[in-house]
Amino acid sequence: MKEFILEEPLTPGFLTFLRSFGTVKEYPHMKRPYFSFEQEHFISIKGFVGDPSVEVRYRKEFSDLTSDYFHLLLFYFREGENGIRKMQGIEESIWERMKVRLPEEGVPR
Amino acid sequence: MDAHPGDPPLIYLNNAATTWPKPQGVLDAVTRSLQTPFFEHGRSTAGSAMDYPSETRAALAGLFHAEQPDHFIFTRSATESLNLLIHGFVKKQGAPFHAITTELEHNSVLRPLHTLTGEGRLSLSMVPFQESYVTLQDIKKALQPETRLVVMTHGSNVLGSLQNIRPVAEYCAENNIFLIVDGAQTAGQVPINLEAVPLGAFVFTGHKALFGIPGIGGFYLDDPDAIVPVQQGGTGTDSRSLAHPQEMPQKFEAGTPNYPGIASLLAGIRFIEHEGQDRVTRKGRDLAALFISEITRDKNIILYTPAPDLPVVSFNIQGLDNDEAGYILAKAYNIITRTGLHCAPLVHDRIDSGKGCIRVSFSCLNTPEECRSAAMAVREVAEGADR
């Protein structure tokens, strides 16, 4: 688990971006508007909209393959639709490397 | 956790894991213990330094009403105590036998027993709990002719239920069954009278309700011949002999003691004595009851501990994972709880389908105001999860 303090607070737009890559749960009526994101095989993220602090957890088995995943999400978010496509390509690449590592079990996708 | 301007004051409700804050006397005792040379039993640095181990054994004997102070053995933790006792008992038996434990147990009991079962050293029966309690009748149902060991908790770290040990202890004593009682949640929290109950061994940890620092624990062993030591080393006594001493407490202690930890434990016991054990017990129960009364009418809160004996309240919030609820309470309210399985997986299989829950746990240093603030925060989170 890592806690990051970002340069800017998280925005609703970032949550929309995240929906392309996993499950986003939002609780806007909490004292602070809480959200969580889960990409089952890569990472989970917890935080509050409007807050620069996030908690990121990596799946231990693949953490070496996915350690940059959160930073890539932040980077490609700025590119909009184009960023979604690039990010999806990166995901595919990670899946491929997972397959090589676990040939007998297959990739749990 | 760093404090930020405008943050609400920290409310720490994870005392069943480790009590915080520690009484000032405990902090001072640790500092003092490091400012003077240690009194090492049988060694040369005595001077005017305090013999913390002996003083603390005497204090433990007083608090727990034990006859023989030297039968208190210091370890790093309740987990280490349980491992030394369980593995030591198995080593003593030699041949495989049958053991009994309960669904209420912590992994510090379950994992050693599971490991030994896997090695073919014992067979194990798991006694279910009924409404948070395990009774002698439940244990009797699991008995087998070759049953030699019962390991059970004195107080559940999830359900806050105080088990009635006396009938189990009396039955075990009458039937030559070694009983290990895990008092990790009860030592310092409730009155304990080891003279009145014929236990084989009683396990405690220093860093919970005894208010010591992490890294100190121990056990009381009634009959030193009931188990075999599984570690040997320097004791400062009979050093010419390559055989480890058989006298108590050296029989089960090897290596340099954790002097600061033992000093903290002594100061923690003195704190409880000063406050009064009965008052400490009552305050814990009152805080738990107050918290429960403040959340119990919220239909979105699933309460697993309607009337705990210990200051432990476990619950879930409808529509919100327990770790998410814990995160929100910590980050938005500055309230520290514990979420997940609490190292007691079998309890959760019964109460929440193994998903885990949120636990708040109080010490006598918490206040009713903290309790009300925390309950209000939990209600707000439950309301936020429902909208």
- DSSP for B343-379 reads T-HHHHHHHSTTS-EEEEE--TTS-HHHHHHHHHHHH
The residues spanned by each domain of chain B are 11-22+277-386, 24-274
Q: Which chain B residue's Cα is nearest to A32?
A: B332
Measured CA to CA, the distance from residue B52 to residue B35 in angstroms comes to 13
Interface test with B, best of A2, A23, A34 (most B CBs within 10 A): A34
What percentage of chain B has pLDDT greater than the value 70? 96
The tens digit of pLDDT for each residue in A18-28 reads 999 999 999 99
Nearest to B326 by CA among B339, B314, B309: B339
Give the pLDDT score at B48.
59
Is A34–B387 a contact, with Cβ atoms under 8 angstroms apart?
Answer: no
Measured CA to CA, the distance from residue B266 to residue B55 in angstroms comes to 7
Sheet containing B312-317: which strands, arranged edge to edge? Answer: B301-303, B312-317, B357-361, B338-340
Fold equal for B11-22+277-386 and B24-274? no
Q: Which chain B residue's Cα is nearest to A26?
A: B385
> Is 80 exceeded by the pLDDT of residue A105?
no
The tens digit of pLDDT for each residue in B26-53 reads 999 999 999 988 877 665 555 557 899 9
State both tokens at B148. Answer: 């030699």
Q: B332 to chain A, minimum CA–CA distance in Å? A: 6
Please state the rounded mean pLDDT for residues B57-85.
98
* Residue B347 contacts residue B158 (beta carbons within 8 Å): yes
**What residues does B151 pair with on adjacent strands?**
B180
Residue B260: half-sphere exposure toward Cβ, Cα within 13 Å: 10
The tens digit of pLDDT for each residue in B125-144 reads 999 999 999 999 999 999 99
Is the preceding peptide bond at B257 cis, omega within 30 degrees of 0? no
The tens digit of pLDDT for each residue in B308-318 reads 999 999 999 99
The dihedral formed by the CA atoms of B241, B247, B250 and B253, expressed in degrees to the nearest 10: 110
Q: B203 to chain A, minimum CA–CA distance in Å? A: 33
**Interface confidence (ipTM) of the complex:** 0.89
> In Å, how far are B93, B235, B248, B251, B257 from B243, measured between CA atoms?
21, 11, 14, 10, 20
Measured CA to CA, the distance from residue B92 to residue A5 in angstroms comes to 55
Give the pLDDT score at B45.
55
Check: CATH 3.40.50.300 for B24-274?
no
The tens digit of pLDDT for each residue in B172-231 reads 999 999 999 999 999 999 999 999 999 999 999 999 999 999 999 999 999 999 999 999
Nearest by CB to A46, from B327, B380, B387: name it: B327
Give the pLDDT score at B212.
98
Is B384–A55 a contact, with Cβ atoms under 8 angstroms apart?
Answer: no
**Mean pLDDT score of chain B:** 96
Class of domain B11-22+277-386: alpha beta
What percentage of chain B has pLDDT greater than the value 90? 93
Contacts A25 to B, Cβ<8 Å: 324
Is A34–B333 a contact, with Cβ atoms under 8 angstroms apart?
Answer: no
Contacts of B182 by beta carbon, 8 Å cutoff, 6+ apart? B78, B82, B105, B106, B108, B109, B151, B152, B153, B154, B203
The tens digit of pLDDT for each residue in A39-76 reads 888 899 999 999 999 999 988 888 888 888 999 999 99
Contacts B324 to A, Cβ<8 Å: 25, 34, 36, 46
> Is 90 exceeded by the pLDDT of residue B387?
no
The tens digit of pLDDT for each residue in B248-281 reads 999 999 999 999 999 999 999 999 999 999 999 9
What is the number of CB-based contacts under 8 A between chain A and chain B?
37
Contacts A48 to B, Cβ<8 Å: 331-332
Q: Which chain A residue's Cα is nearest to B381?
A: A30
Kindly state the DSSP code that residue A108 receives in the 8-state scheme.
Answer: -
